[in-house]
Structure 1
């Protein structure tokens, strides 16, 4: 259902507000460059500092601008099950094609708690759901056996796996079968995950290199493994640079250097250190993304 290069799109800010014009321009650029799906209001979209009105407005703008040309998978997760249900229902009303729901953070639920959380959301909402497992941010790792239980639900169609653990990815694919979409949540694992049977990536790097990230997937799909490998190594320094500081600080800084958005964050995120900004600029120059 969902596959390819799916950008975890940033939320541009200007003078403390969502920069709607910049967001619209980013979306159009992504579609022109071949991005296969747009994912607003995720980690990279700074969803944790958007209020409800802003969150819904970003989804609304994305759906309107995309206009069914590619799928829109809205970030709807929360560490409150009822809140996650509420946001997912609103995303459906706004016209999203799917939802991305992160494992509850701070609560540190058990595996049974994780199962019940996602099952409750899927039971009470209508969108196809992609689970999102990112223990580095949430302090809880959803194990393959739990994912396999959830994969039996007709509305739970895949998982964004951001453990960086190919053994865990392999177990999930084996347990859940070919109909369940396992998606890379770490750009450095994009190609290895495809080799294991994954369906694509929800990508940070696609924010700055949409054409290359899409072409990596397209090359793999048409069986041009050498071309996919070539792009993987081309993107490796950029993938690393996108995490030189906490995401989305580097990617938003990069987009600002490229003239796409303003360099603006919301606390507790802040601008990069000058040393790291210089390192980032060197990588972008080497990739011909800035002059």
Structure 2
């Protein structure tokens, strides 16, 4: 599944035409699901109305061809409930809820936060743990408590630790599906029992990422490793600066959208341009007009 960027014009306004082009390209390329307005989609800088409209338009464009997972997390529980209710209303298939950022809640606070949202909105919910960005790490035992709730169906784990993946799979069994949220360790996550990857790299390499995930989930290690090796340089280059800076620059370089991004994020630093271009070229992707 792609953690889809939110295409923007140079002034930071949402580029609705580019959004439609990107979604159709992803579906044609084999992407298995669209994650709309997750953190890669700059959810933290979008207003409520923009957030709602992006999810609604994404659902309309996708038109039931693949599942749409709406990013509806927040660092205030009431805010996350409001976003999740609206996502359900416009037809999202599930919601992705990041751990509250900056607040640094305790494990009990995390449990109550997600429990409250799950009880308030009857829609499948995917929890999202990304401690490097939020400042809080949701532990496997907390996920296990939440797994007892019927509509908590999955976890996107982006700690980037295979030890954590092993611990989660051992602790949770089949109670909750584990998805990687870290492209660099996604292949191994799936080979040991993870169910897929919510990917940043898929924004520029959807077909190859789909093929790698397909092989890894099927346990075809040799094929998965070969495909993952082709993606490795992109996986690294797209995180030279905090996501989604590099991936939005790459998509603009390839001609898929304008280079718009919202403050406090800034465009990719010029001294990284050649590194990202080289990674794109090695993968066989050329700048627009080249």
Q: Which residue of 2 aligns with 1:196?
A: 192
Q: Which residue of 1 aligns with 2:66?
A: 70
Mapped to 2, the partners of 1:168 and 1:273 lie a distance apart of 33
Matched, 1:34 2:22: no
Give the RMSD, CA atoms, in angstroms: 1.0
- Shift of residue 220, structure 1, vs aligned partner: 2.8
Assess if the C-alpha contact under 8 Å between 2:169 and 2:178 holds in 1: yes
Q: Which residue of 2 aligns with 1:10?
A: 5
- Shift of residue 232, structure 1, vs aligned partner: 0.6
Structure 2: any 5+ residue segments left out of the alignment? Answer: none
Q: Deviation digits for residues 62-115 of structure 1, max 9, x if unmatched? A: 100111111000000001001100100000001000000000011110000000
Q: SS at 1:109's partner residue?
A: coil
Mapped to 1, the partners of 2:181 and 2:58 lie a distance apart of 21
Structure 1: any 5+ residue segments left out of the alignment? Answer: 1-5
Q: Which residue of 1 aligns with 2:54?
A: 58
Mapped to 2, the partners of 1:194 and 1:219 lie a distance apart of 9
Q: Which residue of 2 aligns with 1:230?
A: 226
Q: Which residue of 1 aligns with 2:276?
A: 280
Mapped to 1, the partners of 2:92 and 2:269 lie a distance apart of 36
Range with greater deviation from structure 2 (93-102 or 264-273):
264-273
Q: TM-score, normalization: structure 1? A: 0.96
Moved over 6 A (4+): none
| Correspondent of 1:159 among 133, 152, 155 | 155
| Correspondent of 1:177 among 173, 176, 192 | 173
Mapped to 2, the partners of 1:133 and 1:276 lie a distance apart of 28
Q: Which residue of 2 aligns with 1:265?
A: 261
Range with greater deviation from structure 2 (77-86 or 177-186):
177-186
Mapped to 2, the partners of 1:222 and 1:276 lie a distance apart of 36
Q: TM-score, normalization: structure 2? A: 0.97
Number of residues paired by the alignment? 286
